[in-house]
C-alpha cells in the first residue's frame, strides 16, 4: 500500500485481485447497462496515479480499456461517462498524463466516451454531485461506484446512500475491517467510524452478542447498514485472506438487481487465486473459499436440503436462492449439487425433457 508521500507504489497481490474482479465484472456490466440506458457512469472514488511502480494499469485505465476493448463496444450506443477522483496533486498529474496517453493511443477517441478528472477527495466530489442532482431535481444515471480507500475516513454511509439512491446504481467498496476492528472502542476516531456506519453501534464490538468475533460483528453491522441505510436489496461480501490465513479486509458489493449479483459472483469465481491470496464467504457456519479447482459444495447442498425440506420447488427458485442467499454461483447448482442428489435418490425430479434441469423443471425435497 502506498505511503502518503508516494506517487507510485508496487502492485500488491490483493489489489491485483480486486482489479481482475473489476475487469471481469465490467465486461458483463457495460453491455447489459448500455442496452437499456442512454448514459452509463463509472465512478472511481480513489483513482490513484493511473499506473503502478512497474507499469501495471490502475483502476481508471482498466475501466476504460475494458470498455474500449470489449467485443460488443462497436454496438454500444450509450454515452459512457468515467469520473475519476484523485486529490493528491502528484498522483492527479500522473493520472492526467496516463489518461491523455491512452486517448492519444486510441485516437480518434470515441465521441460517446467521456472522461472527467476531479482533483478532489471522493467525499467532496460525491457531495457536489448530490447537491447538483438535488438542485436540478434529477436522478443519477446508472452508476457503478468503485470505492477503494486507504483507510476508514472520508466514506460516510449517508453520502453513499444519497449518491447511489437511484435503482440502477451499484457499489463496490473496500471495507477495511482490520482498521475498524483496531480503532472501534479506542475513542480517538469515533467521528470517522460513526460516519462510516451511520451509527455508533460499532462500539458494541467490544462485547458482541451470540458468540460472534469482533470482526464478524463489524462485518455484519456494515452489511446491515448497506441494506438498511443505502437500500441495497442484495449485498455480497468477500473476505480477502492474507498469507497468515486472516481476513485483512472485505470487498462489499451492493446492488438492487439480481443480474448484477450474478455477474459479480461470476467475476469472483473466475479469478484464479494462486498462492498469494484467497477469497472467502460464510454459509451455514462454514467458510467457503472462492477456488474452483477446490470446489466444496457441501455447504450449498446442506443449505438447499434444509431450506426446501418437504417442498416441491421450481428450478428457477433454486437458482435464485443460490445467487441471493449463498456465496455460490448459479452454475454450481445443477451438476455439482442436484445431479448427485438425484442419483442418490435424495430428491425427485420432474423435467420437460429427458436430461438436465431445463426451465420448467421441478424438484421435490422430502422432509429432512
The number of folded domains in the chain is: 2
Cα of first residue to Cα of last residue in the chain, in angstroms, is 49
- Mean pLDDT, residues 143-170 taken together: 94
The predicted structure's pLDDT at residue 324: 94
Q: Give domain status of residue 182, yes or no.
A: yes
Distance of CA 326 to the CA centre of its chain: 15
Q: How confident is the model at residue 334 (pLDDT cuts 50, 70, 90)?
A: very high
Q: Clarify whether residues 94 and 202 are in a common domain.
A: yes
pLDDT at 290 over 90: no
Q: How confident is the model at residue 276 (pLDDT cuts 50, 70, 90)?
A: low
Q: Clarify whether residues 266 and 308 are in a common domain.
A: no
pLDDT digits (tens, 9 = 90+) for 295-314: 899 999 999 999 999 999 99
Q: What's this model's pTM, rounded to 2 decimal places? A: 0.92
Cell of 136: 436540478
pLDDT at 293 over 80: no
Cα distance between residue 121 and residue 119, in whole Å: 7
Do the bridges between strand 143-147 and strand 39-44 make them parallel or antiparallel, or are there none, so unpaired? Answer: parallel
DSSP 175-244: E-HHHHHHHTTTSSSHHHHHHHHTSSGGGGGGS-STT--HHHHHHHHHHHHHHHTT--SEEEEEEEE-TT
Q: Give domain status of residue 344, yes or no.
A: yes
- Mean pLDDT, residues 4-20 taken together: 84
The predicted structure's pLDDT at residue 288: 85
The mean pLDDT value of the chain amounts to 91
Judge contact between 284 and 291, C-beta under 8 A: no
- Domain limits at 356? 298-364
Q: Clarify whether residues 228 and 129 are in a common domain.
A: yes
CA nearest 30: which of 42, 19, 21?
Answer: 42
Q: Clarify whether residues 89 and 168 are in a common domain.
A: yes
Q: Give domain status of residue 8, yes or no.
A: no
Cα distance between residue 313 and residue 324, in whole Å: 16
Q: Give domain status of residue 317, yes or no.
A: yes
Cell of 104: 492519444
- Mean pLDDT, residues 49-59 taken together: 96
Collapse the DSSP code of 165 into the 3-class scheme (helix H, G, I; strand E, B; otherwise coil) and give the result.
coil
- Mean pLDDT, residues 230-251 taken together: 87
Q: How confident is the model at residue 273 (pLDDT cuts 50, 70, 90)?
A: low
List the CATH number of the domain containing 345: 1.10.10
Domain boundary among 245, 261, 293: 293
The predicted structure's pLDDT at residue 12: 86
Q: Clarify whether residues 163 and 71 are in a common domain.
A: yes
Cell of 72: 460488443
Q: Clarify whether residues 236 and 284 are in a common domain.
A: yes
Length of the chain (residues): 368
pLDDT at 274 over 60: no
Q: Give domain status of residue 185, yes or no.
A: yes
Collapse the DSSP code of 293 into the 3-class scheme (helix H, G, I; strand E, B; otherwise coil) and give the result.
helix
- Mean pLDDT, residues 317-324 taken together: 96
The predicted structure's pLDDT at residue 335: 95
Q: Clarify whether residues 83 and 213 are in a common domain.
A: yes
Q: Clarify whether residues 129 and 156 are in a common domain.
A: yes
pLDDT > 90: what percent of the chain? Answer: 71
Q: Clarify whether residues 54 and 112 are in a common domain.
A: yes
Q: Give domain status of residue 322, yes or no.
A: yes
List the CATH number of the domain containing 144: 3.40.50
Judge contact between 152 and 189, C-beta under 8 A: yes
pLDDT > 70: what percent of the chain? Answer: 96
The predicted structure's pLDDT at residue 2: 57
- Mean pLDDT, residues 228-251 taken together: 88
The predicted structure's pLDDT at residue 63: 98
Residues in contact with 47: Cβ distance below 8 Å, sequence separation at least 6, in sequence order: 58, 59, 60, 84, 85, 86, 91, 95
pLDDT digits (tens, 9 = 90+) for 96-123: 999 999 999 999 999 999 999 999 999 9
Q: Clarify whether residues 177 and 57 are in a common domain.
A: yes
Q: How confident is the model at residue 3 (pLDDT cuts 50, 70, 90)?
A: low
Cα distance between residue 347 and residue 337, in whole Å: 11
Q: Clarify whether residues 190 and 312 are in a common domain.
A: no
pLDDT digits (tens, 9 = 90+) for 66-77: 999 999 999 999
Main-chain phi, psi angles of 223, to 5 degrees: -60, -45
pLDDT at 286 over 90: no
Of residues 109 and 214, more confidence is placed in 109
The predicted structure's pLDDT at residue 319: 97
Domain boundary among 293, 315, 339: 293
Q: Give domain status of residue 2, yes or no.
A: no
Please state which of the ranges 55-64, 106-115, 237-246, 273-282 shows the lowest mean pLDDT.
Answer: 273-282
Cell of 4: 502518503
pLDDT digits (tens, 9 = 90+) for 158-205: 999 999 999 999 999 999 888 898 888 777 889 999 999 999 999 998
Judge contact between 50 and 98, C-beta under 8 A: yes
Q: Give domain status of residue 203, yes or no.
A: yes
The predicted structure's pLDDT at residue 317: 98
pLDDT digits (tens, 9 = 90+) for 336-349: 999 999 999 999 99
Q: How confident is the model at residue 277 (pLDDT cuts 50, 70, 90)?
A: low
What does the buried/exposed string (b/e) look like for 234-253 if buried means 16 or more CB atoms within 10 Å of the residue's CB? bbbbbbbbeeeeebebbbbb
pLDDT digits (tens, 9 = 90+) for 23-48: 999 999 999 999 888 999 999 999 99
Domain boundary among 293, 316, 338: 293
The predicted structure's pLDDT at residue 106: 97
CA nearest 29: which of 260, 191, 297, 310?
Answer: 260
CA nearest 76: which of 35, 39, 26?
Answer: 35
Q: Clarify whether residues 220 and 109 are in a common domain.
A: yes
Amino acid at each position: 500500500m502506498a505511503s502518503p508521500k508516494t506517487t507510485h507504489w508496487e502492485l500488491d497481490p490483493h489489489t491485483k485481485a480486486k482489479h481482475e474482479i473489476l475487469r471481469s465484472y465490467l465486461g458483463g456490466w457495460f453491455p447489459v447497462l448500455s442496452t437499456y440506458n442512454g448514459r452509463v457512469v463509472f465512478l472511481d472514488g480513489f483513482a490513484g496515479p493511473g499506473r503502478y511502480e512497474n507499469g501495471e494499469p490502475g483502476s481508471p485505465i482498466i475501466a476504460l480499456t475494458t470498455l474500449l476493448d470489449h467485443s460488443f463496444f462497436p454496438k454500444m450506443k450509450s454515452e459512457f461517462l468515467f469520473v475519476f477522483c484523485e486529490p493528491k496533486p502528484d498522483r492527479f498529474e500522473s493520472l492526467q498524463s496516463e489518461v491523455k496517453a491512452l486517448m492519444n493511443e486510441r485516437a480518434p477517441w470515441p465521441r460517446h466516451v467521456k472522461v472527467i478528472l476531479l482533483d478532489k477527495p471522493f467525499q467532496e466530489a460525491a457531495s457536489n454531485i448530490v447537491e447538483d442532482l438535488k438542485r436540478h431535481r434529477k436522478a443519477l444515471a446508472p452508476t457503478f461506484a468503485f470505492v477503494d480507500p486507504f483507510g476508514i475516513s472520508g466514506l460516510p454511509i449517508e453520502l453513499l446512500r444519497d449518491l447511489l439512491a437511484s435503482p440502477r446504481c451499484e457499489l463496490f467498496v473496500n471495507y477495511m475491517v482490520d482498521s475498524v476492528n483496531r480503532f472501534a472502542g479506542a475513542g480517538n476516531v469515533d467521528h470517522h467510524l460513526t460516519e462510516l456506519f451511520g451509527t455508533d453501534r460499532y462500539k458494541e464490538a467490544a462485547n458482541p452478542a451470540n458468540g460472534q468475533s469482533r470482526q464478524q460483528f463489524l462485518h455484519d453491522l456494515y452489511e446491515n447498514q448497506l441494506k438498511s441505510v443505502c437500500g441495497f436489496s442484495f449485498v455480497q461480501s468477500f473476505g480477502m485472506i492474507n498469507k497468515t490465513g486472516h481476513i485483512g479486509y472485505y470487498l462489499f458489493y451492493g446492488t438492487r438487481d439480481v443480474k448484477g449479483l450474478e455477474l459479480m459472483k461470476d467475476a469472483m469465481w473466475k479469478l484464479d487465486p494462486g498462492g498469494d491470496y484467497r477469497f472467502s464467504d460464510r454459509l451455514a457456519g462454514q467458510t467457503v473459499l472462492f477456488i474452483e479447482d477446490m470446489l466444496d459444495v457441501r455447504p450449498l447442498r446442506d443449505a438447499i436440503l434444509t431450506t426446501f425440506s418437504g417442498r416441491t420447488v421450481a428450478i428457477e427458485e433454486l437458482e435464485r436462492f443460490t445467487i441471493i442467499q449463498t456465496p455460490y454461483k448459479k452454475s454450481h447448482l445443477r451438476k455439482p449439487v442436484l445431479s448427485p442428489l438425484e442419483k442418490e435418490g435424495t430428491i425427485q425430479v420432474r423435467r420437460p425433457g429427458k436430461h438436465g434441469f431445463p426451465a420448467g423443471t421441478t424438484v421435490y425435497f422430502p422432509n429432512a
